[in-house]
Amino acid sequence: MSGILFLCIHNAGRSQMAAGFARELSNGEVTILSGGSEPAESVNPVAVEVMNEVGIDIAGFVPQKYNDDLLHAVDVVVTMGCGDTCPYIPGKKYIDWPLDDPKGRPLEEVRVIRDQIRTNVAELLAQL
């Protein structure tokens, strides 16, 4: 089974939405993990709202700091805005998605970010 780790700074928006789409679109055939370099206290409520609009509930997930166990459990690491704070382990496939951080953005803008994440996740899963 392949595994994907989605990383962003706070593990509260982009990486949580990506993990939500990946869990939904992979039908359990891929291990899906997410983490952040500086985790927030909770998932961004606007991210939760826009994901609920498409039938995916991410409200029960808690932002977590990435660690070596998460990194070693996957084949692919997708980074989203964590820059130099993102970890690097040789032998892993790394993909960077330059997406805006949904934090503090209005609902309409977060919907655009969500839709881009869904497209990126679908394309990634098709490659695995």
Q: Which residues are catalytic?
A: 8, 82, 86
Report d(CA 31, CA 5) in Å as an integer. Answer: 8
Q: Is 83 left (phi over 0), alpha (psi -120 to 50) or beta?
A: left
Report d(CA 77, CA 57) in Å as an integer. Answer: 23
Cα angle at 111 between 115 and 38, to 5 degrees? 90
Coil, strand or helix at 55: coil
| Residue 116: DSSP 8-state | H
